[in-house]
Structure 1
Amino acid sequence: MRHIGVIPRFDLDTWRLEVCGEVEKPISLSFEDVKALPTVVGVSDFHCVEGWSLLDNKWEGILFKTIVKIVKPKANAKYVMFECYDGYSTSLALSDLLEDKVLLAYKLGDELLPLERGGPLRLIVPHKYAYKSAMWLKRIKFTSKQELGYWEKRGYSNTADPWKEERYAK
């Protein structure tokens, strides 16, 4: 799995995930807070924009829908921007994130997600190219307008559908 720079390092005792923006109840979660939420295990494929795939990955974490239920997005929240500890960002339509296989994952296989795979917490969006599955999550920001993330500003598709081969912006 690729990344844009140096792999960030974390102390799980001080790591935080902020969820903010167009929501009724902004929150800041510790790693223990995340793990205390209802857990799901999902198996999904992982498709790179470069043309390769990793099949049958076992992820464990929380459904993105769980966060949505907690923070209660306002009616004007149509998009979600993911900001990462390495400076990376990407955004998706909120509707894309409400599918049942979209996770905030903290385990790969039966082990805590290693740093080189995006730990302690990463987004998993199986129905999009992998650059939409942001690693090293720092902030989840609900917005009324879609913002372009790191790769999207550099010409990658904002919709990123691997079955339609949406690699580049039109």
Structure 2
Amino acid sequence: MRLNPNLGKNLALVPLAIASIFCGACTDQPTDKQLETWRTEAITLNAQKVKANSQEPQETEWNLEIGGKIAQRESVQLNWQQLQALATERVKTTDPNFVLNPKEIFDFHGIRVSSLLKQLAIAPNVRDVTFVCFDGYQVTVAVKDLLAYPITLAIARNGKPIPRAQGGPIYLILPYTQYPELKQKYNELSWAFYVSHMIIGTEPVRLRVGKRELDLATLDKLPQVTISDNVGYRMGWPTGKVKLHGVRVRDVLAFAGVQLPVNGEIVVQGKAPISRDPSNPVRLAAADLRDCDILLATRWGDNQESIPAKMGGPLTLAFGSKCQDREEKSFSLSKQRWVTFVVEISSNF
């Protein structure tokens, strides 16, 4: 039996017991109606993810996009044929996601990540690489470890393509059997399913708004806002209240010449394919954009540090406490809307 990657770390259907833990600091206990709302929303989100997975590209249509601090200014797209040609590495190792027999050795075939790094001529100051998955999950690995160990983007296991339900078509694997010390650095959560992007270091801010592309220097000229609250990002962030610094989405739209009507929505897209799904976009109501602080966060913490790729940066979507109250303490939907790796804002009037 293999653990379905749609369960566990990539699970959309969150048990209400977990929801109650997140609300442990709430002054008001959730009502039966709120609990039922959370349950309904969780079921809906799970169905949406299942639908997205069923409509995914076939392996021959799957691409790997590589960006960040590489010699080329634009990101590199590798199609399936190119990936197959690069897949010369073989790694025999156990798979922590194979729960029936955790000692079974699998023969993985794929692309050694270090070979990609050498071909791309990465910047000398890059310390880590972040792998982004179809569903928005992310894993970050140190460059020194990628160069020292045969960490591999596997496209086949035991001579066969890796099914989508088992982490394919691209599955980031670590050679646990040959190098057991890797388990101490990277646990089973670092085995990334259906990888779609590699980010070398952290990319510069490049935000598309309508027909314009805005960089960090441009965003820094707009009115700056700081919020301090619990964040809803899936991974990589501290627990408790975190300071986020950035610009209001409404100010960005105004700068780009996009006017908010009385009714209408704005669609926010991230790098992960699921956040670009036209059947399930992340929508922001115009009324919410006007009435509360919905930010594009560019920095975080007391020292206003840049948001690295391992935290979903350089640009993330964030909501002030007033915005979260408007969500009526909706656990699942509010978490879904905290988009990482934001790349585009478009109107949907």
TM over 0.5: yes
Among 65, 74, 91, the residue aligned to 1:42 = 91
Cα RMSD after superposing both structures: 2.7
1:134-149 paired onto structure 2 within 5 Å: 134-143=192-201
Question: Quick one: distance in 1 between partners of 2:138 and 2:117?
Answer: 19
- Structure 1's 53 and 95: CA in aligned 2 closer, same or farther, altered over 3 A? farther
CA contact (8 A) 2:172 2:191 kept: yes
Q: Where in structure 1 are there 5+ consecutive unaligned residues?
A: 159-170
- Deviation per CA, 1:133-167: give whole Å up to 9, x if none: 2111111001169xxx9444487xx9xxxxxxxxx
1:1-40 paired onto structure 2 within 5 Å: 1=3, 2-3=5-6, 4-5=10-11, 6=49, 8=53, 9-25=56-72, 26-40=75-89
Larger gyration radius, structure 1 or structure 2: 2
For normalisation by structure 2, the TM-score amounts to: 0.39
Residue in 1 that maps onto 2:123: 74
Question: Quick one: distance in 2 between partners of 1:99 and 1:44?
Answer: 17
How far off its partner does 1:42 sit?
1.2
How far off its partner does 1:15 sit?
1.9
More strand by share: 1
**Percent of counterpart pairs with the same letter?**
21
Letter of the 1:110 counterpart: G
Q: Which has the higher contact order (CA 8 A, sep 6+)?
A: 1
- Deviation per CA, 1:22-69: give whole Å up to 9, x if none: 111341101111001151221012346x9x834312101111111112
CA contact (8 A) 2:67 2:199 kept: yes
Q: Secondary structure at the match of 1:107?
A: strand
- Structure 1's 38 and 122: CA in aligned 2 closer, same or farther, altered over 3 A? closer
For normalisation by structure 1, the TM-score amounts to: 0.76
Is 1:103–2:158 an aligned residue pair? Answer: no
Q: Secondary structure at the match of 1:55?
A: coil
Residue in 2 that maps onto 1:129: 187
Letter of the 2:58 counterpart: D
Q: Secondary structure at the match of 1:135?
A: coil
Q: Where in structure 2 are there 5+ consecutive unaligned residues?
A: 12-48, 176-181, 204-232, 240-309, 311-349
Residue in 1 that maps onto 2:164: 115
Question: Quick one: distance in 1 between partners of 2:149 and 2:187?
Answer: 17
CA contact (8 A) 1:77 1:142 kept: yes
Q: Secondary structure at the match of 1:32?
A: helix
Is 1:59–2:108 an aligned residue pair? Answer: yes
